[in-house]
């Protein structure tokens, strides 16, 4: 499918091993990468974790603290975090709603498995 609109993409709303409480995710899967539009309520904290996929996070709304390896920074709209595969990282939303577009390459198998649970016809 060559065109998408976020309003037609299934939204994962329930906490699970790939999604902390207080966050939602919509996912578009391409041949070699995946786009995940994440929403986070204020004061969300995601525990430090790693995955093999490289990740770019583009902040669209709100402010979010990223800790990548031993570096920390609060990002604002228009700023991007780069997380190499295998590097421990965590996030924290601050006092406001956050919207962030995450790009993963290659696909994250754990997110693909979760997507198949909530959209079985994929």
Q: What is the pLDDT of residue 50?
A: 96
User: Where do the domains of the chain lie?
Assistant: 20-118
pLDDT along the chain (122 residues), means of 10: 93 94 96 97 95 98 98 98 98 97 97 92 70
pTM, entire model: 0.94
Domain 20-118 carries which CATH code?
Answer: 2.60.120.10
For the stretch 25-48, pLDDT in tens is 999 999 999 999 999 999 999 999
Location of structure tokens 């754990």: 110
Predicted local distance difference test score (pLDDT) of residue 19: 94
Dihedral sign for Cα atoms in the order 49, 87, 90, 110:
negative
Give 50's contacts (C-beta < 8 A, 6+ positions apart). 86, 87, 88, 89
């Amino acid at each position: 499918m060559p065109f998408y609109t976020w309003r037609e993409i299934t939204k994962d709303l329930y906490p699970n091993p790939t999604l902390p409480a207080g966050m939602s995710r919509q996912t578009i899967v391409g041949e070699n990468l995946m786009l995940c539009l994440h929403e986070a309520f204020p004061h969300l904290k995601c525990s430090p974790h790693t995955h093999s996929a490289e990740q770019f996070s583009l902040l669209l709304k709100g402010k979010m603290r990223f800790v990548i390896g031993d570096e920390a920074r609060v990002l604002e709209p228009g700023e991007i975090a780069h997380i190499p595969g295998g590097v421990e990282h965590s996030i924290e939303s601050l006092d406001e709603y956050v919207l962030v577009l995450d790009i993963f390459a290659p696909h994250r198998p754990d997110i693909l498995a979760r997507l198949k649970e909530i959209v079985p016809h994929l």
